[in-house]
Amino acid sequence: MLTSRLSRVGFRIINELSRGGYRCMSRTRFRQGHCGQCQRSPVELLSETRAFFQGAIFQKHHYFSTLGSNNTSGGGDEQKETISVTFVSKDGEEIPIRVPIGTSMLEAAHQNDIELEGACEGSLACSTCHVIVMDMEHYNKLEEPSDEENDMLDLAFGLTETSRLGCQIIARPELDGIRLAIPAATRNFAVDGYVAKPH
């Protein structure tokens, strides 16, 4: 009983620390190394906290199984809980963030105050969360867009060959390091869903 309660608390602390880690990073866009704790990856924070709990009555395997059940990919401690994603804003500003596995890029952008519109709130009824995947390698790792997503991409402004909807890109370990550009609104934007030739 005590063990399970401790493991629940332990997991919550890990979560808070991890979240605090990447949120801190997004605020220090212009200044590196502002917050000492931010330099560490969540995995390192994990082992620190684990050490803390070893003082109490706490079983290793129990601890890991609690973590495992909350990790969408399931399984061992080599699995990252978050991946690194870099957004490039309309002005060219690079914003590196960490995104939990299972979170969409749209949600991640909003959680980090990145200016990515999401008019329909992720329900595939608009194209405002349009992002451009900046390298082919990561683009090819994404699943093919559904008909519904393609229908919305038809209407996206500044559509390119590596365009996707941010609400449909879900963080997975394979996408670690992905870079997403937020398209600039062009002065000569077209109406009627007409899409300029891809660049």
Partner 1 sequence: MAIFGARRVLWRSFSTISSHPLRVCIVGSGPAGFYTAEKILKTHQGSQVDIIDRLPTPYGLVRSGVAPDHPETKNVINQFSRVAQNGRCSFLGNVALGYSISLVELRELYHVVVLAYGAESDRVVGIPGEDLKGVHSAREFVWWYNGHPYGRNLDPDLKNTDTAVILGQGNVALDVARILLRPTSELAITDIASHALTALEQSSIRKVYLVGRRGPVQAACTAKELREVLGIKDLYIHIKETDLKITPADEEERKNSRIHRRIYELLSKAATAGPSQPSSGQRELHFVFFRQPDRFLESYDKKGYVSGVHLEKTTLKGIGSGKQIAIGTGQFENLSCGIVLKSIGYKSVPVDDLPFDNQKGVVPNVKGRILSDNSGDPTSIENGLYVCGWLKRGPTGIIATNLYCAEETVASLSEDLELGVLASTTRLPKLGRDGLLQILDNRNVRVVPFSAWERIDKEEKRLGSLRNKPREKLTSWEELLKVAGSE
Summarize as ranges the residues that interact with partner 1 (CB under 8 A): 91-93, 117, 119-121, 123-128, 147-148, 150-152, 154-155, 157, 159, 185-187, 189, 191-195, 197
User: What is the smallest separation between the CB atom of 52 and partner 1, expressed in angstroms?
Assistant: 41
User: What is the smallest separation between the CB atom of 153 and partner 1, expressed in angstroms?
Assistant: 8
Q: Sign of the C-alpha dihedral, residues 197, 161, 163, 183?
A: negative
Indicate the residue among 24 and 88 with the shorter CB distance to partner 1: 88
Residues 169 and 85: beta-carbon distance below 8 Å: no
Q: Which residue blocks in 85-194 are alpha helix, DSSP H?
A: 105-111, 136-141, 147-153
SS3 content of the chain, % helix, strand, coil (to 5): 40, 15, 45
Indicate the residue among 9 and 184 with the shorter CB distance to partner 1: 184
Indicate the residue among 5 and 30 with the shorter CB distance to partner 1: 30
User: What is the smallest separation between the CB atom of 66 and partner 1, expressed in angstroms?
Assistant: 35
Indicate the residue among 91 and 137 with the shorter CB distance to partner 1: 91
Residues 116 and 106: beta-carbon distance below 8 Å: yes
Q: Which tokens belong to 128?
A: 């405002």
Indicate the residue among 56 and 196 with the shorter CB distance to partner 1: 196
User: What is the smallest separation between the CB atom of 127 and partner 1, expressed in angstroms?
Assistant: 6
User: What is the smallest separation between the CB atom of 197 and partner 1, expressed in angstroms?
Assistant: 7
Half-sphere exposure of 175 (CA within 13 A, CB side): 27
The DSSP H or E segment spanning 69 is helix 60-70
The one-character DSSP state at 175 is G
